[in-house]
Structure 1
């Protein structure tokens, strides 16, 4: 069962050993996975398809959006994958930000989009299981890290793409906090890039809906500060089941 913290009064940045301020020379990325998509989409391998968010989740996860907005430092820059499930999640969080930030739009970054599974985008789960028979697989992602779907990308391709996107953002905005709302597979590959561990081990990370993972660049080097940090909110029963289903389905690149 997915566990979430109970709502409590807290310093949202108290977990940073060096204090909440961004030290000189540090560029920090707050990588947020999008919210829960529709039940219809969850029945398929939606990969990089532009599937919509579940409207019930937008309503019921409002406390989570508010909590996420409070965790991010003032003055952060906001970015998002172009897919609506990421862009609308960013907006749902940003509307709780102070002042003019609440009315801004996140800048769209194609480099942090989810893995394209090409001809398999939109396949029902059972059809995908049939399609990958005889191919290299991974226990927590379906396809092996070097396996490229017909007309799609391997996860190694995604790691290269996401790493380049984060590096370009870090070069363009050194010393800033940046929020990037993205996808489960793309965030795993951001961790692979930051840690330099390769694609296969990073697929063993769990990245839940609305979780934050934090990476930093310091003097040209990368490190990981936190992984899969959940906002403090009570999960409605239907949403808890939906989030569990997405986590289980992530044994293939379906629910990211």
Structure 2
């Protein structure tokens, strides 16, 4: 049995679609970081996306845990031409509405579909499970990345999983065993 503790990075304060843009995290809430550190297993392995907002958040809560190399497969969804734009700034409103309302194979221009992100994150998780069987793993990542795994654990459709809130510096834990994924806490704020 392996446990994954998914941590969403610290806030960027951006009011746009932020995927692969490397915006920094605001880590000024040191009390929240201390509580998050205390809520994580002390012997867990730490990994993060390679984007700085995830890397610096992981650095802030690692504190003696063994650190694995940053993994680009744990990046947020790539929004392509929509990157750093607000929903209402997108010229093709029919396209962006379809992207959010019927998630699956629809891609932003030059970006990824939901199914693309799921496949990428699933590969990363499978590698971690194979390389570190039975270990607790803390993965500092992004909203969309966490939702991909929550969707598997809850066994729900994409539209349904999009209804879940995943706050910055929150914790979502899933356990992988013989029966697949089991969901523990979702969006827990220690």
Confirm or deny a common fold (TM above 0.5).
yes
Q: Which residue of 2 aligns with 1:247?
A: none
Q: Deviations over 1:202-239 (max 9, x none)?
A: 111110101100011102611111210012xxxxxxxx
Match of 2:60 in 1: 92
Q: Does 1:36 align with 2:11?
A: yes
1:193 aligns with 2:152: yes
What's the counterpart of residue 19 of structure 2?
47
Q: How many residues align?
A: 189
* Contact 1:43–1:125 (8 Å) recurs in 2: no
Cα 1:30–1:228 shift into 2, 3 Å: same
Match in the other structure for 2:116: 157
TM-score by length of 1: 0.68
Equivalences for 1:1-256 in 2 at 5 Å? 26-37=1-12, 39=13, 42-54=14-26, 58-59=27-28, 61-94=29-62, 97=63, 100-101=64-65, 105-128=67-90, 130-131=91-92, 133-135=93-95, 137=97, 142=100, 144-146=102-104, 147-219=106-178, 221-231=180-190
CA distance in 1, matches of 2:130, 2:72: 17
Q: Cα offset for 1:136? A: 6.2
Whether the 8 Å CA contact 2:96–2:108 is kept in 1: the answer is no
Instruction: State the TM-score, normalizing by the size of structure 2.
Output: 0.90
The 4+ residue runs of structure 1 with deviation greater than 4 A are none
CA contact (8 A) 1:214 1:225 kept: yes
- 3-state DSSP class of the match of 1:65? helix
Aligned Cα root-mean-square deviation (Å): 2.0
CA gap of 1:117–1:143, structure 2 versus 1, over 3 A, is farther
1: distance between equivalents of 2:115 and 2:163?
Answer: 14
Q: Deviations over 1:127-175 (max 9, x none)?
A: 13x33x112637xx84531221111111122122212211221111111
Deviations 1:96-150 (A, max 9, x none): x3xx43xx6552112211000111112244313x33x112637xx8453122111
For structure 2, the 5+ residue unaligned runs are none
Which structure 1 segments of 5+ residues have no match?
Answer: 1-25, 232-256
2:158, 2:100 → 1: CA distance? 13
Contact preservation (8 Å) 2:54, 2:140: yes
